Each structure stands twice: as structure tokens, then as C-alpha cells.
Amino acid sequence: MAVTQAHMAEQDALLLGRSTFEAFRSYWPMQNDDTTGITDHLNRVQKYVLSTTLHDPGWEPTAVLRDLDEVQALRDQPGRLGVTGSISVAQQLVAADLVDEYRLFVYPVLVRAGAGVLASARCLDLDLVEATQFPSGVTLLRYNRRR
């Protein structure tokens, strides 16, 4: 939980896809006994939703972005934008070369199907800046993009 709290503290804003946003919106605002800080963070942080179909987010503070050009404009502003879940958004960001840092949680499970976040990536030139293994066997790998 300390790692999650540290990651949240570093975020100035959060970018989500519509499905993840709607799942978060249906759950997190109603949590009253959350001692992890996730509820407070998600209710407070500026949220952006990449969607062509969402019109009224219904959870403030939230703004809807219609395309990757709007994400690029947001990325060019000061601050740190995090992405959680939202595999399709992550894939689009990777394909458009809009990711500066990758924080990958690697679980000790092999899955033969499903979409990977790096499925659309060309060759990425990365520098490993952190490798942390947790007692569960999960490993956090944090890479910065070489530019």
C-alpha cells in the first residue's frame, strides 16, 4: 500500500479510459471507511477521461479529452499525469510515443491470452530506475524513456 500511496502523491492528474473511469466512478466516491487514502485521492485529483462517447462525467473534477492531440497538449503542461488500468488508453499512449515513464507491476503468473500494454510498441529504449520485489512475488519495474 505504501507504493500505491507514493505513486498517488506524485500524480498531479489521472488519465483514464471511459470504461475504467465509469467503474471507478461507480465505486470510489461512495467509500466512506477507506483508510488507504485512495478514495480521498480519487475524489480530489484532476481526472481526465479519453473518450469520444462520454459527455457528462458526473464526478468532479473531471474533464473529457476527445483525442490524443488533447492528451499531447496536456502532456506538454507542467505536472505529472498518471494512467491506471485503462489498457486501451495505455496502448494508444505507447503507440503515439507519449509515455515518459513506465511503472510495470509484474505478477508471477503467465497468461496466454489478452492484450498487453506494449502490444503496439516499436522498440523502446528504456533505462531501469527501480526494481522492487514484494513478498507476494510481484515485482515493480520502473523505467524512464530515453529521448
Q: How confident is the model at residue 126 (pLDDT cuts 50, 70, 90)?
A: very high
User: pLDDT per residue over 5-55, tens digit each?
Assistant: 777 887 899 999 999 999 999 999 999 999 988 999 999 999 999 999 999
Q: Note the pLDDT of residue 113.
A: 73
Tell me the pLDDT band of 147, cut-offs 50, 70 and 90.
confident
25: alpha, beta or left, given left = phi > 0 and alpha = psi -120 to 50? alpha
pTM: 0.85
What DSSP state is assigned to residue 143? E
User: Which domains, ranges and CATH numbers included, belong to the chain?
Assistant: 2-145 (3.40.430.10)
Whether the predicted pLDDT of 95 surpasses 80: yes
CA distances from 145 to 35, 80, 120 (A): 34, 15, 16
Instruction: From residue 113, give the alpha-carbon distance in Å to each of 12, 58, 110, 134.
Output: 34, 34, 9, 25
Residues 79 and 14: beta-carbon distance below 8 Å: no
Structure-block grid coordinates of residue 100: 515518459
